[in-house]
Chain A
Amino acid sequence: MTASVFFGCTFIAFGPAIALFLFTIARDPLRVIFLIAGAFFWLCSLLLSSLVWFITVQISNKESSSQQKGLLIFGVVLSVMLQETFRFGYYKLLKKANEGLLMLSAEETMPISIRQLAYVSGLGFGFMSGAFSMINILADSVGPGTIGIHGDSQHFFLSSAFMTMAIVLLHMFWGVVFFDSCEKQHWWSLAVVVISHLLVSCLTFQNPQYVGSLVPTYIIVFLVGLWAFFCAGGSLRNLKLCLTCKDKDFLLANHRPR
């Protein structure tokens, strides 16, 4: 549409991601490395799933629209499964790397905990996923026109931006929950992550009824966010202490000599 829409949509889609990167990741080079590695793993999963989808589309009958729709659903499901598989693969890789790092480093303690790795890898997945969702749309939003001449809804850019923000946040939360459940061997919570990912992806089939896809997605974001908060060690007590600024006493109270 114009530069204002371009910047507006960029900030909406990547605002939380930029903020998180700036304040939590940018200072620590090790976190940056793991972020980029996580993004790369997501990219590999996308490559593989798109290759498979592409081959199936070429083989299929291009005229039949129901077949194409079916193929699209198949492609989405396959992509979700591959993404989660690669997330699991990344987890395994990080565990091995952690042991290796520990052996190499002079210190006794690990430079980065598995919980932080969970957060960083989830954010990496989120960055890459958001980029692939949104960059193409942002490039076209710079021109003078908006969607609609063929009868489509006008709110495409805005709802894509909100969806991308949701996806970025969700990947981060899923990363935390996923790694935590892998650590604790809670396979059922792993399944819930995969199912919620599938659910969010399939909700996008509601488009162009953007309300129908965005509202449930944000509900899921909130719920998964809460779950990730608790997995990461948060609790209502901590939150209350934080908000009422009694944290200093709490810290002192917790640091008992070993």
Chain B
Amino acid sequence: MVLESSKWVMFIVCWLFKNVSCNSVAQKIYVELNNTVPCVRLLNATHQIGCQSSISGDTGVIHVLESEADLEWPLSKGPNPPYMVLLESSLFTKSIMMKMKNASSRVAGVVVVPKTSLPEFSPHTTCPNENTGVYTETYDHNLAHCNTTVWNPRGNGLSYEEFDFPVFSLKEDNETEIIKQCYFDHNRVVNGSGLQYPLCAMQLFSHMYAVTDTATCMRRSSIDFSSFPVKVCEPLGGYNVLAFIRPYNSTAFGHKENESVVIAAARLDSRAFFLEDSAGAEGSVSGFVTLLAAAQALREATQEAPPTRNILFAFFNGEVFDYIGSSRMVYDMKNNKFVIDLDNVHSILEIGQVAVRSGTNLFLHSDPVSRRNNTVHDEVTNLVKNLQSSTAGLNFSFVETGFSQPLPPSSFQRFLRARAIPGIVLADHQTAFNNRYYESFYDNAAHLNLTYPSNLSPEEQLEFVTDTAKSLTEVATAVARALFKQAGGNNSQVNNINADPKTVTQMLYGFLVRSNNSWFQAVMAPELKDVLQPNPPWYYVGVAKLSHQANALTYLVQYLLANLTGTATNLTQSQCKKPDELPNESTYMYSYFWVQGVVPPNSTQRESFCIRTAVRLAKAVSPAFVLGDYVSKEYSTWTESQWKFIKARIFLVASRDLEMLTLGVGVAVLFTSLLVTYFVSTKADVLFSVVREPNNAAY
């Protein structure tokens, strides 16, 4: 009976326990900020860039910066250093950040609140990927290090600076309001007089484990003391998305006899100062959306009358960080780890930034050094001719750039480093970039003038064809026609090749406004539908994961390309998982994806089906990590530091005097009580005299 009742008591206690709400003192002290984006540390062979906080967080009195002149208060005049400087994005400039970097003993951290944008802002370098492209001192001395053309003149290099205080960006507006309210209540200077304690302060935690450079942190990561090795840093990387129009056996690597391939390339990733905020609308989305639309346009024509040469649609990931994806592909081709090799590559057409035109022309960039060879020059001229004739009937034209100008930063440069292959890079800029926000978080849908009428629902916005979509559709049509001609297709079919503006506008909506829309839902696999969010996907390439997991962007492009170039089959879901059992299907040649499909009207069930496609993912991790050469000058050596946790919180701090007073009072109380107790205990027999009792008097 006792056991029974005690069991009941235990049961009740356990049930009650999970309903506990903790109303502790900590909740009265701290307000946790949940939606913050930190600046993290990246390392390469020679440097570390990014931001670092101390291991127990950095605390500073909040100061809201109103203008650049106001910087004097945190940097020199303010009486309560260190300060946590809160600034709006219009004040997030290089000069202000550099001033704070130089006075970092008085600055505990910086918090950026995204609001209005600057007219131009690019935290990237002026000469992107200058050491890993093809223009080295040996290739051509005059063209190296952007001596002839500075591609990104607005670049201030802020993303590549090192800060020894944490820099965070706030995402949500409610939290900014709380912080500003706290600041106005407690921290405002009243007529230049001293501030009254308690003051509003903020603490930022973003302690990064890795230091110095990649070689150091990889060495520390490899020390294996316990069964749970601690990784100090991880190499950046992801997957390239590839699709041949005529697939090869995926297990047969190396040179293919009599096969000639035209590579159509585009870049997938981009970055910003705050890596999670990377948008890349003009920088990468314009390019790969155009290429996806061109792939769709070519599907019918290449299936009816396959051209002589094969076409490879290649979407390279990690290009921002010294061409991770393209350098890995070239390495694999050279080492017979890919289905074709460099001898099979006939020519390359790359789509760069194509959405911000300053006229009606798009420019064709080529490499002057390789064109000194006559064969290459003839092939390039032929490609230019194919491109220029493809714009017939469209509202723009292709113009070649000057003969002495090098290629802009592009994946094509890595192929040129290995071999002089003829190729063209398409771009909307003739010399410097038209992109005022190259690799910054302002390069978003608004930058591309992606405006929708205000009364449309999200689904209607998905279908609305914007002007940007129309112009990109024309570019895609021209690219598709040029690729068809370049691959030796029948000229009579060319005018039937047209890109679909509806596809383009849906892709632009999905990649720049909201990835969780009905079309993307229909195209994705059921187990991957959680990658679709009400925001655009992340464009930062991220850390190369050990398992076969890619980031959201890679999956989106993979499944879109599958949908746009593959064929629907009648296979059931279980057959789709094991198609080799069927006579006509082969996983060596094709990939089979079970996709969700659309929801027909008057029904709630999705019409899922199995799609057969030649789309494959190829690992995009820098060859430097394959070779173990962490100081490589040839390949990308970028790694991202690991960290334990990243958080931010605000609270009030009391004055030092009050704290010391508390300590003083405590010590005084302790000493007094020690004295009094000593005194009383030695005189206890006098003080507490007892009435004498015969048998039980004792002390």
Give residues in A with beta carbon < 8 Å to B.
1-2, 4-5, 7-12, 15-16, 18-20, 22-24, 51, 54-55, 58, 108-111, 113, 115-116, 136-137, 140, 143-150, 152, 154, 156-158, 161, 165, 232-235, 238-239, 241-242, 247, 250-251, 254, 258
Q: Given A137-B25, A140-B25, are A145 and B686 also a contact pair (CB < 8 Å)?
A: no
Minimal Cβ-Cβ distance residue in A for B662: A8
Q: How far is the CA of A110 from the CA of B693 in the complex (A)?
A: 13
Decide if A144 touches B59 in the complex (CB within 8 Å).
yes
Decide if A143 touches B29 in the complex (CB within 8 Å).
yes
Minimal Cβ-Cβ distance residue in B for A51: B13
Q: How far is the CA of A88 from the CA of B689 in the complex (A)?
A: 25
Minimal Cβ-Cβ distance residue in B for A107: B698
B647 to chain A minimum Cβ distance, whole angstroms, is 13
B616 to chain A minimum Cβ distance, whole angstroms, is 52
Q: How far is the CA of A148 from the CA of B28 in the complex (A)?
A: 7
- On chain B, the residues within 8 Å of A232 by CB distance are 688
Q: How far is the CA of A136 from the CA of B412 in the complex (A)?
A: 63
**Quick check: which of B303-311, B494-502, B668-676 contacts chain A, the rest being far away?**
B668-676
Decide if A19 touches B673 in the complex (CB within 8 Å).
yes
A8: contacting residue among B31, B663, B678, B689, CB under 8 A: B663
Q: Determine if B2 is an interface residue (Cβ-Cβ < 8 Å).
A: no
Q: Given A12-B669, A137-B25, A148-B652, are A4 and B663 also a contact pair (CB < 8 Å)?
A: yes
Q: Kindly supply a per-residue 1/0 record for chain B positions 101-114, scoring 1 wherever the CB is within 8 Å of any chain A CB and 0 otherwise.
A: 00000000000000
Q: Determine if B69 is an interface residue (Cβ-Cβ < 8 Å).
A: no
Q: How far is the CA of A161 from the CA of B669 in the complex (A)?
A: 11
Q: Kindly supply a per-residue 1/0 record for chain B positions 668-699, scoring 1 wherever the CB is within 8 Å of any chain A CB and 0 otherwise.
A: 01101110111001011111111100111111
9 contacts between A and B (CB under 8 A): A8-B659, A12-B669, A23-B677, A23-B678, A136-B25, A140-B24, A145-B649, A149-B30, A254-B689
Q: Determine if B153 is an interface residue (Cβ-Cβ < 8 Å).
A: no
Given contacts A58-B16, A234-B687, A239-B687, 19 further A-B contacts (CB under 8 A): A4-B663, A7-B666, A12-B669, A15-B673, A18-B670, A19-B677, A113-B698, A143-B29, A144-B203, A146-B29, A147-B25, A149-B652, A154-B652, A156-B28, A233-B689, A235-B689, A238-B688, A242-B687, A250-B686
- On chain B, the residues within 8 Å of A5 by CB distance are 654, 659, 662-663
Interface size on B, residues (CB 8 A): 58
Decide if B663 touches A7 in the complex (CB within 8 Å).
yes
Q: Given A136-B24, A149-B31, are A233 and B662 also a contact pair (CB < 8 Å)?
A: no
- On chain A, the residues within 8 Å of B16 by CB distance are 54-55, 58
B508 to chain A minimum Cβ distance, whole angstroms, is 43
B30 to chain A minimum Cβ distance, whole angstroms, is 6
- On chain B, the residues within 8 Å of A149 by CB distance are 28-31, 182, 200, 650-652
Q: Determine if B541 is an interface residue (Cβ-Cβ < 8 Å).
A: no
Q: Determine if B646 is an interface residue (Cβ-Cβ < 8 Å).
A: no
Decide if A146 touches B686 in the complex (CB within 8 Å).
no
Q: Determine if B534 is an interface residue (Cβ-Cβ < 8 Å).
A: no
Decide if B654 touches A1 in the complex (CB within 8 Å).
yes
Q: How far is the CA of A140 from the CA of B548 in the complex (A)?
A: 44
Q: Determine if B194 is an interface residue (Cβ-Cβ < 8 Å).
A: no
Decide if B653 touches A146 in the complex (CB within 8 Å).
yes
Q: Determine if B665 is an interface residue (Cβ-Cβ < 8 Å).
A: yes
- On chain A, the residues within 8 Å of B198 by CB distance are 146, 148, 154
Q: Determine if B664 is an interface residue (Cβ-Cβ < 8 Å).
A: yes
Decide if A238 touches B654 in the complex (CB within 8 Å).
no
Q: Determine if B227 is an interface residue (Cβ-Cβ < 8 Å).
A: no
Decide if B12 touches A55 in the complex (CB within 8 Å).
yes
Minimal Cβ-Cβ distance residue in B for A119: B688
Decide if B686 touches A242 in the complex (CB within 8 Å).
yes
Q: How far is the CA of A154 from the CA of B659 in the complex (A)?
A: 12
Decide if A144 touches B696 in the complex (CB within 8 Å).
no
Q: Given A110-B696, A140-B24, are A15 and B29 also a contact pair (CB < 8 Å)?
A: no
Q: Given A234-B688, A242-B683, are A1 and B659 also a contact pair (CB < 8 Å)?
A: yes
Q: Determine if B42 is an interface residue (Cβ-Cβ < 8 Å).
A: no
A222 to chain B minimum Cβ distance, whole angstroms, is 14
B696: contacting residue among A109, A145, A233, CB under 8 A: A109
Q: Given A140-B29, A147-B28, are A11 and B686 also a contact pair (CB < 8 Å)?
A: no
- On chain B, the residues within 8 Å of A147 by CB distance are 25, 28-29, 652
Q: Determine if B26 is an interface residue (Cβ-Cβ < 8 Å).
A: yes
Decide if B659 touches A2 in the complex (CB within 8 Å).
yes
A17 to chain B minimum Cβ distance, whole angstroms, is 8
- On chain A, the residues within 8 Å of B686 by CB distance are 238, 241-242, 247, 250-251
- On chain B, the residues within 8 Å of A258 by CB distance are 694
Q: How far is the CA of A19 from the CA of B680 in the complex (A)?
A: 11
- On chain A, the residues within 8 Å of B698 by CB distance are 109-111, 113
Minimal Cβ-Cβ distance residue in B for A150: B28
